């Protein structure tokens, strides 16, 4: 018996990395999963990787019309939602003094505004006792040069979790933030070797995390194992932002 048997989950931005690993694990644990991605080709590849019990919907979480299309598909195929993992997001680096209006708008539009409306538009279909997970980042816990805009966009999610946990209390819907540290994904692979080494030095085990380690934490937050975890932030960072 899987930990998510009979559950329906929505995971945005799940064509690669941490969210894809989470979608795969959710299906293995009995859930039916709807995933999104901006590019149809990448979305098709992700669906093939996951296997059965998954529907891919091409969508940009920064566009409200795309989110409407996503939830229309969920309503038509399943009619309810138990878990929302709002994972779609983007990075970007620029130090204060070089931040452009376009960069700010792009990052906050997807990471903050997109997350808010991903959750809000899911609520009419969410069953009582469900779980909302937002993909944060430890960047908002540490001062990292050039990441002020990104960190700010993720810090807002921590505030959302506190407010929404109270607002959704009567429905027993839990709201939490999963904040990864440096994880071996395509984004990390594109960083200079020196930057990756600096991350490693700050982690007690001296190695980066893996998408599967995020997936198991997402599963914990999605299932009844975390029934008393609400309004919280769980950092999956190997200790980087904790010590």
Among residues 32, 71, 150, 210, which one is catalytic? 150
Of 179, 184, 175, the closest CA to residue 126 belongs to: 175
Q: Which two tokens stand for residue 214?
A: 């995020």
Of 76, 71, 90, 15, the closest CA to residue 46 belongs to: 15
Alpha-carbon distance of 132 to 82, in angstroms, equals 8
CB 133 within 8 A of CB 86: yes
Is 150 catalytic? The answer is yes
User: Which residues, other chains included, contact 75 with Cβ-Cβ below 8 Å and sequence gap of 6+?
Assistant: 125
Active-site residues, by number, are 150
């Amino acid at each position: 018996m899987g930990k998510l048997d009979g559950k329906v989950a929505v995971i945005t931005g799940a064509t690669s990395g941490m969210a894809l690993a989470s979608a795969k694990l959710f299906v293995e644990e009995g859930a039916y999963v709807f995933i999104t991605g901006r590019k149809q080709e990448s979305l098709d590849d992700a669906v093939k990787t996951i296997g059965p019990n998954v529907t891919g919907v091409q969508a940009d979480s920064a566009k409200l019309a795309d989110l409407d299309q996503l939830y229309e598909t969920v309503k038509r195929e399943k009619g309810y939602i138990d878990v929302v993992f709002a994972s779609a997001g983007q990075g970007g680096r620029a130090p204060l003094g070089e931040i452009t209006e376009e960069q700010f708008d792009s990052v906050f539009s997807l990471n903050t505004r997109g997350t808010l409306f991903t959750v809000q538009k899911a609520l009419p279909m969410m069953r009582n006792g469900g779980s909302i997970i937002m993909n944060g980042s430890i960047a908002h816990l540490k001062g990292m040069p050039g990441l002020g805009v990104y960190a700010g966009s993720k810090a807002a999610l921590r505030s959302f979790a506190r407010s929404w946990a109270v607002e959704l209390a009567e429905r027993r819907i839990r709201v939490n933030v999963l904040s990864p540290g440096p994880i071996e994904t395509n984004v990390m692979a594109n960083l200079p070797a020196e930057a990756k080494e600096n991350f490693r030095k700050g982690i007690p085990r001296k190695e980066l995390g893996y998408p599967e380690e995020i997936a198991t934490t997402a599963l914990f937050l999605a299932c009844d194992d975390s029934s008393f975890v609400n309004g919280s932030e769980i950092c999956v960072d190997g200790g980087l932002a904790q010590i």
